[in-house]
Amino acid sequence: MSTSDVYDCVVIGAGVQGSFTAYELAKRRKRTVLLEQFLLPHTRGSSHGQTRIIRKAYEQDFYIPMMHQAYQLWAQMERETGVKLYRQTGLLVMGPPDSHAYQQTKATMLRNQIPLVPLSRGNFSQHIPNVNLPEGNEALVDVGAGILYADRALKTARDQFEKLGGVIRDNEAVTGVEPGAVVTVTTAAGVYRAKSVVITVGAWANRVLAQTGLQLPLEVMRMKVCYWREKVPGTYDANNRFPCFILTEGEESEHHIYGLPSHEYPGLVKVCNHLGVRTDPDQRDRDASEWDVEVLKRFVARVLPGLVPEPAVVETCMYTMTPDSHFVLDRHPAHSNIVIGAGFSGHGFKFGPLIGKLLCELSQGEEPSHDLSPFRIARFRQKIKSAL
């Protein structure tokens, strides 16, 4: 393209958040280009894989209205495209009743009237066979929770974006962002100018933000995604109404351990840690440590007796953590036409269509349609490195 062309918006990074932001901009007839460093689709960021959990079981009240709308937007996209993106399975939440995470989650769900089924030790195995409810734990089911078809969702958002006239340039890493009334974005292949820029580059956020003089307190973690074989095929199958599950804290880890029913790989159940190892996003697969798989082996042997306690498939992914595990959804402190969506802290996928809408609103200078105060950059005042 000629450097004199000015887009309404350049979105950098085509993971779930960038893809939905681009789609939302195109729906509003904004001339938009979506730039991605790798050839699409790829497995080197945080949004790949067949499935993610969607749930309203949250500790904080502020996520609840956001999740109400996120569910509506996922359903709207299914209606508009005819593509199935969500499957209801329920989410089994287990944890010590006096622990902070379990107590808060249950209280928040009750306060917000989220449909839930409390389970007692007496009726647990009748509802959830083949799971040993850990000693001293309580359990409930978030009824509306389920599975999102992740790869399919990304493809659908990008396809819709292109149908609406949006331009995707993959295999084109951004190497420069020059702020201004018109922002100049440079890649190895070209120069793009735009009235606004949205930066949704996942684990690479601080690399790209450095070009704008800003560094956020983000920590990139390598996460192992482990799949475990059913001893009897079908035992933990979504088709047999086995739910997704989370243990909020347990003997093996004080962090969440979570899983999804066998579905994406027949006969294999996904069980993972919510804690990983610090990594450099370009060296993600070099770390050989195994402690996180050992934690899972002990959990599987104790709680899921119908699984072989040795992973059959191990894949990797990345979390980009903020200090409080809440997202960054904000305008750049010095350049209001540069918008940042970052630090999704291992739980951002389910919000994808809503994040896209909110980042679009911010990029167009509008008042965002949800209260974004929990997600402001200013909350890190003590920790921000800024050359501004």
Binding site for ligand FAD (CB under 6 A): 12-18, 35-38, 45-47, 52-53, 173-174, 200-204, 208, 223, 225, 272, 317-319, 344, 346-350
Nearer residue to ligand FAD within complex by CB, 47 or 235? 47
Q: Name the residue nearer to ligand FAD (CB basis): 36 or 361.
A: 36
DSSP alpha helix (H) spans, the chain: 16-27, 63-81, 100-111, 121-127, 150-163, 205-209, 291-303, 352-363
In whole angstroms, how close is the CB of 20 to ligand FAD at the nearest point?
Answer: 9
**What DSSP state is assigned to residue 366?**
P
H/E stretch holding 33 reads strand 32-35
Number of residues that make up the chain: 388
Of the two residues 319 and 380, which places its CB atom closer to ligand FAD in the complex? 319
Please state the closest distance from residue 125 (CB atom) to ligand FAD, in A.
25
Nearest distance from residue 21's CB to ligand FAD, in Å?
9
Please state, as a whole number, how many other Cβ atoms lie within 10 Å of the Cβ of residue 325: 15
Q: Tell me the C-alpha to C-alpha distance, in Å, between residue 317 and each of 14, 49, 65, 342.
A: 16, 9, 28, 16
Q: Are 176 and 211 in contact (CB under 8 A)?
A: yes
- How far apart CA 344 and CA 159 sit, in angstroms, is 24
Q: Which residue has the tokens 């390598």?
A: 222
Of 85 and 203, nearer to ligand FAD (C-beta) is: 203
Element (H, E) at 359: helix 352-363
Kindly tell me which of 124 and 261 has the beta carbon lying closer to ligand FAD.
Answer: 261
In the complex, what is the shortest distance from the CB of residue 203 to ligand FAD, in angstroms, rounded to a whole number?
Answer: 6
Query: Residue 34 or residue 124: which is nearer to ligand FAD going by CB?
Result: 34
Name the minimum Å distance from CB 369 to ligand FAD. 20
Give least dist CB 36 to ligand FAD, A.
5
Q: What tokens were used for 189?
A: 């292949």
The residue at minimum Cβ distance from ligand FAD is 15
